Amino acid sequence: MVNVIMGKKGTGKTKHIIEIVNAAAKDEKNCVVCIEGGRKLTYDVSYAVRLIDVGDYPIAKGYDALFAFICGVYAHNFDVSHIFIDSLYKVSGCDDVDQATAFLHKLNDFSKANKIEVIIMISDDTMHATEGMKAYFPHA
């Protein structure tokens, strides 16, 4: 299942995602993965979390490449129970909302099939969210 945390820069999204990443790592016996673009979470998330900076890998920009990367992470370790993506537009290299919405739908199908909880942060005003994106907001 996919959940999206969306809001403008400076609204506390990163602090919130750090809290839920660390809570998941504390409570979960399986593997918790956090994907980021840059190394800003290195000292904030638990050592038990598999923290991945996409900049360390030659990943093409776009949502198809990101989806393939996530599938590869899961294929490497079937014990993945949680995947967190900090700043989707930065990680994917694309801020097109329609493409992001299609990615969310595809990732949601994948996560349901493999029983993975996925939480994604998007740094943008919620008024730019498509109806498809809003379906993944926690309160929806």
Domain ranges across the chain: 2-134
Is 77 exposed, middle or buried (CB count within 10 Å of its CB: 0-12, 13-18, 19+)? exposed
**pLDDT at residue 92, as a whole number:** 96
Asked if residues 91 and 63 have their Cβ atoms less than 8 Å apart, the reply is no
CATH superfamily to which 2-134 belongs: P-loop containing nucleotide triphosphate hydrolases (3.40.50.300)
Would you write out the chain's pLDDT as a tens digit for each of its 140 residues? 999 999 998 888 889 989 999 999 997 678 999 999 988 888 899 999 999 999 999 989 999 999 999 999 999 998 999 999 999 999 999 999 999 999 999 999 999 999 999 999 999 999 999 999 999 998 64
Q: What is the model's pTM?
A: 0.93
**pLDDT at residue 33, as a whole number:** 96
Alpha helices in the chain (DSSP H): 13-27, 63-76, 88-92, 97-114, 131-134
Structure tokens at 64: 């198809």
